[in-house]
Amino acid sequence: MTRTAPMMELDKQLLQPGVKGLPITAPLRQGDIGARRWNVLNADTSFPVALLKSSALEHNLQWMRGFCERYGVQLAPHGKTTMSPQLFDAQLSNGAWGMTLATVSQTQIAHRYGVRRVLLANQLVSPADIGAVLTLMRDDPSFEFFALADSSAGVARLSQMAQQSGIERPLPLLVELGLAGKRAGCRGMEEALALAREIAAAPGLELAGIEGYEGLLVSPDRDKDHEQVRHFVAQLSDLLRQADAERLFKRSEILLTAGGSAYFDFVASGFAQVQDLSRPVLPVLRSGCYLTNDHGFYHDLIEQLNTREGYAPGQGLRPALEVWSMVLSRPEPTLAILGMGKRDASYDMELPRALVSHRPGAGLPSALPEGCRIEKMNDQHAYLRLPEGHAIAGELAVGDLIGCGISHPCTTFDKWPLLLAVDDDYTVQRAINTFF
């Protein structure tokens, strides 16, 4: 099965009235969306609506491909960000080595839509999950899967279930090296190396590599972050060297993986220095947010990365995800109520950023002046505060549109079963499905 076939099935499905963003009153074949030529600036869609700018997505796909080629690293982008078959397909078609995922449910969905190499950047613990993975590996010999391990208890479970499953090929594991006070992962080199030996010796398992996640080190003190990330990447490389010196790796290549969406340049440059081992090393980055970037938390981090990497302004990653909503009420001179809430846009890192206003059918969107900001969201509403005395406070009317950027794509994607890809004129091109 190619990846294309299940994607075509998605376009054949009948979308029912009630899918957020779609202005339909009767079922519509998903693949017919583009032919409708809906334009957001004409208020042809329903609101709120989540939009992906195709040109920014395309740019970011190319950018990341070039970045990885430059450093000689592979990419297994974190699919939990979007959980979108069409976006997974675009990433794999643009050179991604595989997909990273966080759960076995996500893995099952990715497999259904044609993904054949999954790096589970998580511990694999529950019996149902272990069983589901072993079933996929048994039923589909082309399916490659890697999971993390950080405890003897976890390794013992996996070894037992892998043996009981009767599958011939071993289950490949990576030792997770953690960080004191942070999330999962072995605390310290000794513990990690001991676990590597256990995995190498465990029936039904094989040691495939070393994993860490430097993204947990992001803090307001960037200089300190950089130093700690470099140190952590060096530790991962050391651990790999030591395990290799003991000949614990048996596969043809040794996986070495880290790389969130903030400091993947430090990871790439650190990994590029790992050489002269008993067998080839496969360095794999796992950024999930590069694809859409954002207008908030990751935008700021990526601007700093662009500077470090020497990209000119506008040549780095571009924000691709916007949520548009309508002004429902102008109850007070400096307050507009929008039909967009916690159900529609991220609020975990910061609230959405109001970028532009637009009166449907009237020219082009206008950048909102300084001082216009979303100050609060309820479940289904946002409170847009307007600067006192500014013209916008008098002009913005019920029925006008507000285009917002968001901060943290992962927590916006999971609010939309379907997003709309648009061209630079905000004409809707096609649907992008998600499965959360």
Say which residue the tokens 């976006």 belong to. 87
Question: Considering the complex, what minimum distance in angstroms separates the CB of residue 132 from its own copies?
Answer: 5
Among 95, 163, 383, 387, which residue interacts with its own copies (rule: CB under 8 A)? 383
Asked whether 279 and 250 are in contact (CB, 8 A), the reply is no
For residue 157, give the amino acid letter: R
Instruction: Using the minimum distance from each CB to its own copies, give the nearer residue, 9 or 69.
Output: 9
User: Is residue 299 classed as helix, strand or coil in its secondary structure?
Assistant: helix
Q: Does 167 bind its own copies (CB under 8 A)?
A: no
Question: Considering the complex, what minimum distance in angstroms separates the CB of residue 204 from its own copies?
Answer: 17
Question: Considering the complex, what minimum distance in angstroms separates the CB of residue 352 from its own copies?
Answer: 14
Q: Does 37 bind its own copies (CB under 8 A)?
A: no
Q: Does 164 bind its own copies (CB under 8 A)?
A: no
Q: Does 239 bind its own copies (CB under 8 A)?
A: no
Q: Does 378 bind its own copies (CB under 8 A)?
A: yes
Q: Does 397 bind its own copies (CB under 8 A)?
A: yes
Task: Select from 61-69, 121-129, 311-319, 367-375 the region that touches its own copies (CB under 8 A).
Answer: 121-129
Task: Select from 193-201, 271-279, 303-311, 339-347 the region that touches its own copies (CB under 8 A).
Answer: 339-347
Classify the phi-psi angles of 37: left when phi > 0, otherwise alpha if psi is within -120 to 50, otherwise beta: left
Q: Does 62 bind its own copies (CB under 8 A)?
A: no
Among 331, 363, 370, 388, which residue interacts with its own copies (rule: CB under 8 A)? 331
State residue 14 phi and psi, 5-degree precision.
-90, 120
Nearby residues of 390 by Cβ (< 8 Å), 6 or more positions away:
369, 371
Q: Does 10 bind its own copies (CB under 8 A)?
A: no
Number of neighbours of residue 252 by Cβ within 10 angstroms = 8
Instruction: Using the minimum distance from each CB to its own copies, give the nearer residue, 104 or 233.
Output: 104
Size of the site for its own copies (CB under 8 A): 78
Compute the distance between CA of residue 387 and CA of residue 369 in angstroms, rounded to an integer: 8
Among 269, 411, 427, 429, which residue interacts with its own copies (rule: CB under 8 A)? 411
Question: Considering the complex, what minimum distance in angstroms separates the CB of residue 120 from its own copies?
Answer: 11
Q: Does 379 bind its own copies (CB under 8 A)?
A: yes
Preceding amide of 365 cis, omega within 30: no
Instruction: Using the minimum distance from each CB to its own copies, give the nearer residue, 128 or 312.
Output: 128
Asked whether 165 and 159 are in contact (CB, 8 A), the reply is no
Question: Considering the complex, what minimum distance in angstroms separates the CB of residue 224 from its own copies?
Answer: 20
Task: Select from 5-13, 198-206, 363-371, 408-416 the region that touches its own copies (CB under 8 A).
Answer: 408-416
Instruction: Using the minimum distance from each CB to its own copies, give the nearer residue, 18 or 314.
Output: 18
Asked whether 255 and 249 are in contact (CB, 8 A), the reply is no
Q: Does 305 bind its own copies (CB under 8 A)?
A: no
Q: Does 187 bind its own copies (CB under 8 A)?
A: yes
Are β-strands 401-405 and 428-433 bridged in parallel, bridged antiparallel, or unpaired?
A: unpaired
Q: Does 18 bind its own copies (CB under 8 A)?
A: yes
Which token pair is 252? 């043809």
Report 342-371 residues binding its own copies (CB under 8 A).
342-343, 347-348, 360
Among 13, 151, 304, 366, which residue interacts with its own copies (rule: CB under 8 A)? 151
Angle at 88 between CA 86 and CA 92, to 5 degrees: 115
Task: Select from 50-58, 219-227, 290-298, 397-405 the region that touches its own copies (CB under 8 A).
Answer: 397-405
Q: Does 25 bind its own copies (CB under 8 A)?
A: yes
Whole-Å CA distances, 121 to 99, 111, 287: 10, 16, 12
Alpha helices in 127-174 (DSSP H): 127-139, 152-165
Q: Does 46 bind its own copies (CB under 8 A)?
A: yes
Element containing residue 234 per DSSP (H, E):
helix 222-245
Task: Read off the DSSP letter of residue 18.
Answer: T
Whole-Å CA distances, 23 to 67, 144, 177, 182, 261: 39, 41, 48, 45, 34
Asked whether 230 and 236 are in contact (CB, 8 A), the reply is no
Q: Which residue, 128, 188, 190, 189, is CA-closest to 157?
A: 128
Q: Does 436 bind its own copies (CB under 8 A)?
A: yes
User: Is residue 7 classed as helix, strand or coil in its secondary structure?
Assistant: helix
Instruction: Using the minimum distance from each CB to its own copies, give the nearer residue, 311 or 383.
Output: 383
Asked whether 428 and 29 are in contact (CB, 8 A), the reply is no
Report 92-111 residues binding its own copies (CB under 8 A).
102-109
Instruction: Using the minimum distance from each CB to its own copies, give the nearer residue, 222 or 342.
Output: 342
Q: Does 20 bind its own copies (CB under 8 A)?
A: yes
